[in-house]
Structure 1
Amino acid sequence: MTERSVLADGFVVWEERPADATFEVALGGGHKVKAYAYGDGSEVVFLLNGGPGLPCNYLRAPHLPIVEAGYRVVVHDQLGTGASDHPDDPSLWTLERYVEEVEAVLDALDLERVHFLGHSWGGWCGIEYALTYPHRIASMVLADTAADIPHLLQEIERLRAALGSETVAMMQRFEAMGNHAHPAYKAAVDLLDFRHIRRLPERPKPVADSRAGFNLPIYMAVQGPNEYHYTGSIRDWNRIDQLHRFTWPTLVIQGQHDVLTPACGMHMLNALPNGEIRIFQNSSHSPFYEEPRAYRRALLDFLDRQRV
């Protein structure tokens, strides 16, 4: 069954349809993940979605239309999400293990080189993957992500400060108590989400589908209780000083209102030897939904210039 969001002029914002091929990929420890391939183009775009702990729906759907431009799109449900196995083992929720998971998927599908698009957490994992397995990378798109979490946390404090000192003090008090469910705290997070995650009146269906399958313990282990309070293992991660090793073309994408701010994007750009940046003025964390036409144009312009 195919589901679509189509503008009046026929532009397809997002599409969900059965995969042309599905794969079960075996990981260490006896676990399996489900991978999906669309199209038969010789140029492969590998998508790695954010979260962590989200099924791939939200990132897959707005990128399936690029199949019509001749690309093969490959994506998978990360371990603990979607149609992949859901083990109850907190020791699995590490950046290093997810890097090896990506390599297992690309190896199982015989994908020697890919155009790697990582969104948010998918960008963090993608950066670490590219540093570990650089021979797999033909080009990269680092979308709404960062390479320096301590710098990101400084930017987040600036965004929180815009709520006012009393609200920030309230948030800090409940964070110190570990009470992230208090209505006042949740209201502040909801407001920040509307400003900096998705500036839309409602979630698109693929986003809602991903949220419905959210595996919160994974997110808590790696990141923390929300987008504005990091307590997980990624808190001190920083690879800015390693980005000089990215010799391939790299497109940095940010929304002007993104929680992973344009300053995070420029921080990466200044460290990349072969980088370029596109900042979407009317977007936050999801320009593929917030400015879909401009996003698609920018993405295809970049990818078309990397065709072999």
Structure 2
Amino acid sequence: MWQELEPDQTQDVTVDGYTVKTYSFGAGDEVLLCLNGGPGLPCDYLREAHSCLGGEGYRVVAFDQLGTGSSDRPDDTSLWTISRYVEEVETVRLALGLGKVHLLGHSWGGWLGIDYALTYPDALKSLILEDTVADMPHLAEELNRLRCALGSETVAMMQRHEAEGTMEHPEYQAAITILTYRHVCRLSTRPAPISRSVDDWNKAPYETMQGPNEFLYIGNLKDWNRIPDLPRIEVPVLIVTGQHDELTPACAMKMKLALKDAELHVFPNSSHMPFYEEPDAYYPVLLDFLKRNRS
């Protein structure tokens, strides 16, 4: 169902004195505001996967987070915090006059979406948490389990390179490549929007907040845990994940058990990108949830 569409509207929004680029598709009062993963990725991959919902009666809005894509890219590591990004989301929502939104956060965008929902609960109609987590220490345990599937010798090699700071070594990168195929995108050919986002990745926010790669979390979010706070979220929540996701079904289940009103859907043939890996299964689940929570 996904397709590449020209936005019906682009608008620059000033955030902290910098320019953030926004993209809108479709029209109406039912707004799907998309927060993409990364950190540091342009929004292309998530925008193109959901712009098609503009033809389903929704206004779909995405934006290049500060430091990414067509937005300004300041060289200031103090900007790369989840609390500042929460305020950025609110600034965009108010500047575009979006009113109450259905907030969709994918991966890092899900962490951001959770903190936004806890900070601005009255801004939401529903919350969609895709391929994400609410407990980073638990995720670290799950990522270690996925790494162990490569075998003890490979894990020992990875740990040595991590300790010595030689993670650009070809053998370490080969292990990351295998893990990425297994747990990030299992398609033999990457869809063009994913490639565009990855090829334009600003690693400064990523390394500051997360770490050097998808399987080693040592940034300023390494201790982030919102499981105790999730019961405060009152709006309906849809959680989706892939059976092979790097942010595992166990992480998704932990969120579901902590939320008051949540449903969980696991896509059996997906890893981290079900909207590209299993589109025929993904879109009906999302559209059904949105339809049931229209106001």
d(CA) in 2 for partners of 1:284, 1:41: 32
The correspondence for 1:187, drawn from 170, 174, 184, is: 174
Quote the offset at 1:178 in angstroms.
1.2
Structure 2 residue 177 is matched with structure 1 residue 172: no
Structure 2 residue 252 is matched with structure 1 residue 265: yes
Partner of 1:24: 12
Partner of 2:27: 40
Amino acid corresponding to residue 217 of structure 1 in structure 2 = A
The correspondence for 2:243, drawn from 243, 256, 261, is: 256
Partner of 2:144: 157
Partner of 1:286: 273
Partner of 2:45: 58
Q: Secondary structure at the match of 2:103?
A: strand
d(CA) in 1 for partners of 2:45, 2:69: 12
Structure 2 residue 3 is matched with structure 1 residue 15: yes
Partner of 1:125: 112
Structure 2 residue 217 is matched with structure 1 residue 233: no
Runs of 4+ in 1 over 6 A off after TM superposition: none
Structure 2 residue 60 is matched with structure 1 residue 73: yes
Quote the offset at 1:36 in angstroms.
0.9
Alignment deviations for residues 40-60 of structure 1 (CA, whole Å, 9 cap, x no partner): 122000000000000000001
Q: Secondary structure at the match of 1:270?
A: helix
Structure 1: gaps (5+ residues): 1-11
Structure 2 residue 205 is matched with structure 1 residue 218: yes
Q: Secondary structure at the match of 2:89?
A: helix
Q: Secondary structure at the match of 2:254?
A: helix
Alignment deviations for residues 202-253 of structure 1 (CA, whole Å, 9 cap, x no partner): 2110001111110011100000011111110010000000000111100000
Partner of 2:81: 94
Note the aligned Cα RMSD (angstroms). Answer: 0.7
Check whether the contact 2:5–2:52 (CA below 8 A) recurs between aligned residues: no
d(CA) in 2 for partners of 1:174, 1:265: 30
d(CA) in 2 for partners of 1:297, 1:179: 44
Partner of 1:135: 122
Q: Secondary structure at the match of 2:229?
A: helix
Structure 2 residue 294 is matched with structure 1 residue 303: no
d(CA) in 2 for partners of 1:178, 1:138: 45
Amino acid corresponding to residue 191 of structure 1 in structure 2 = I
Alignment deviations for residues 55-87 of structure 1 (CA, whole Å, 9 cap, x no partner): 000001111111111111001000011110111
TM-score relative to the length of structure 2: 0.99
Check whether the contact 2:142–2:248 (CA below 8 A) recurs between aligned residues: yes
Partner of 2:229: 242
Quote the offset at 1:17 in angstroms.
2.2
